Structure 1
Amino acid sequence: MEKQPRDFNTISPSARALLLMKGLTDIPFAREAARLMMAPEPYVPDYNTKEPWFWARLVHFENRYHSIDQLLQGITHQHILELSSGFSFRGLAAVQQQALHYIDTDLPDLIATKQRFLHDLQQHLPPAKGQLETLPLNALDEQQFTAVTGRFAEGPLTIVNEGLLMYLDQQEKSVLCSLIRKTLETRGGYWITADIYIKRDRESEQAAGTEDQLSSFFAQHRINDNMFNSFDDAAAFFREAGFEIDKEAEPDYTRLTAFNHLLKNADSAMLERMRHRGKIHATWRLRLR
């Protein structure tokens, strides 16, 4: 039986939830966008939350954002394509600082909202040094993918994504890898993905007290099932798809705004439990083999 296409627009509520969390950090434009999201109700960041697992989760997402910026450093390419960007405004921040052509993409419903946010945010900014486009894209649609990448001038391309692969099953991941490989074979460049996640024991997550609306959403979309069995398994998957690891981001938790709140609200036993979980995430810069 032919596999029916999925409605990926159902993913968008997670992007909204993450934005409201990230408004507590110094991620560029996150707080301003959270205010726009909540309007006309006020957005008041709650730094008095005592739940350590909330702060642990926020540390993770804040670190994941900055890990991509870390791996972008040293790349002189003037073309960047971001897939499934959600309510991240990395592209807006980038073109304020550099003469880049940055194309920011996600599903149509989310992009329509994001474009309204961008209009408001840009009213308070000086003229950009680079060019930002914000376009709808189903990253698994070859025709759409080719049309978007064709908007760049000749030259190497850096493709980035944060929060996409865990929504895709093995076949869908392979489709995405094929599209990115074909693009980089033609143009040259890198793929930076912050989506190297290792499967977790759901029972242990529940026992840790991390069940909330976002966790329920992840369960609904079988996020854990779509993660890799191990980092070796992930490396083998990408190697078979034609990629190799060029560099891995190194976390620096001390520069994260959420980290001190985690330390303040977690006792020594809780911190030890968190350490005991071990490494479950990585951000990789990939190149063609």
Structure 2
Amino acid sequence: MLRDYSTISPSARALLLMKGITDIPYAREAAELMMRPEPYEPDYDNKDARLWARILHFEARYFSINEMLEDIDAHNILELSSGFSFRGLEMTTVKNHLHYIDTDLPNIIESKKEIIEDLVDDVRKHSKLELLPLNVLDDHQFSKVVKHFEKGPIAIVNEGLLMYLETKEKEKLCEIIHHILRKRGGYWITADIYFKKDLSKTLKRKDALGEFTEAHRIDEKKFDDEQTARYFFDRMGFVIDKVNEIDYKELSAYPYFVENLTPDQVEEFRKIGKIRETWRLKVK
């Protein structure tokens, strides 16, 4: 029987449908499931460079976390607020001796479990994938989830979380993660080091995702600049272990982005500069 995924929020659907155009593992298959019974037909002929810039942005954000995980040999990975990203499924189908816990709010986790069942893939024999509900600001619930891991260091990862949090909420999350990493060891990899920029001419579009961004005042909750972000995490007891430098030219959306840029847009993007970074943090 075909499942009905129509109840998934418009913003989550819009993000997944964009990711389905890229090489992000399982994004295309999940987008096809979410669109049923209508066909999922990505428009590779779209000439809107702003759309391709946005797609490239999300593709880079996803793979930047993967690159940060590659050189720390993590066996316990906890992903926060993962939405309809399938990194846990991707990694446990190719790696042995990996315990991956994928978390988000309960309604998202339930929908995601159904999608993963429909994707029909098995984890490796000695690996384990769990999908658990988690409010990241609930320290008791957070600790219960962490206890699912065996002894050893933990890699905590997230993309698309910090920009939804007010400063006090960011501080609360930092305190929880700091406490866990101090006890267990490991790293926090966050792709959410966003800087305040005027993106009205480059990335903003009038669609479900744009409306969601405005409704949640995401631009207001970004860090003022890189120096402000560094000071914040230093104050919360973290040091930067590594800053990711991803090669955009290696990403699948890059040729479509470059091909559709106008000369004016080239100058606009150059003026804006870097809008986001991925940092690997550890406790001081």
Asked if TM exceeds 0.5, the reply is yes
Which TM-score tier does this pair reach, normalised by the shorter chain? over 0.9
Mapped to 2, the partners of 1:43 and 1:243 lie a distance apart of: 43
Which deviations, in whole Å up to 9, do the C-alpha atoms of 1:83-122 show, x marking residues without a partner? Answer: 000111000010111120000001111111100001111x
Q: Which amino acid is the alignment partner of residue 115 of structure 2?
A: F
**CA distance change for structure 1 residues 264 and 128 in 2, over 3 Å: closer, same or farther?**
farther
2 CA distance for matches of 1:248 and 1:77? 18
**Aligned residue in 2 for 1:173:** 170
Would the alpha carbon gap of residues 207 and 88 (structure 1) be closer, same or farther in structure 2, given more than 3 Å must change?
A: closer
Check if 1:222 corresponds to 2:220. Answer: no
Structure 2 equivalent of residue 8 of structure 1: none
Partner of 2:264: 269
**Deviation above 6 Å: which 4+ runs of structure 1?**
none
TM-score normalised to the size of structure 2?
0.93
Paired with 1:186 and 1:209, the residues of 2 have a C-alpha distance of 40
Verify the 8 A CA contact 1:12 1:110 in the aligned structure 2. no
Matched with 1:114 is 112
Question: Does residue 180 of structure 2 align to residue 186 of structure 1?
Answer: no
> Residue in 2 aligned with 1:196?
193
1:206 corresponds, among 200, 203, 207, to 200
Once residues 260 and 209 of structure 1 are traced to their aligned partners in structure 2, the CA distance between those partners, rounded to angstroms, is 17
Separation in 2, partners of 1:75, 1:126: 21
Question: Paired residue for 1:65?
Answer: 62
Cα-Cα RMSD: 1.5
Taking the aligned partners of 2:205 and 2:27, their CA distance within structure 1 comes to: 24
| CA contact 1:163–1:195 (8 Å) conserved in 2 | yes
Tell me if structure 1 keeps the 8 A contact 2:51–2:203.
no
Once residues 191 and 125 of structure 1 are traced to their aligned partners in structure 2, the CA distance between those partners, rounded to angstroms, is 27
The alignment partner of 1:134 has SS state of strand
Match of 2:26 among 20, 29, 52: 29
**Identity value in percent:** 52
Deviation larger for 230-239 or 128-137: 128-137
1:269 to partner: Cα distance? 2.4
- Which letter maps to 1:50? K
Structure 1 residue corresponding to 2:77, chosen from 74, 77, 80: 80
The residue type paired with residue 283 of structure 1 is T
Structure 2 alignment gaps of length 5 or more: 1-7
- The residue aligned with 1:142 is 139
Aligned: 1:244 with 2:239: yes
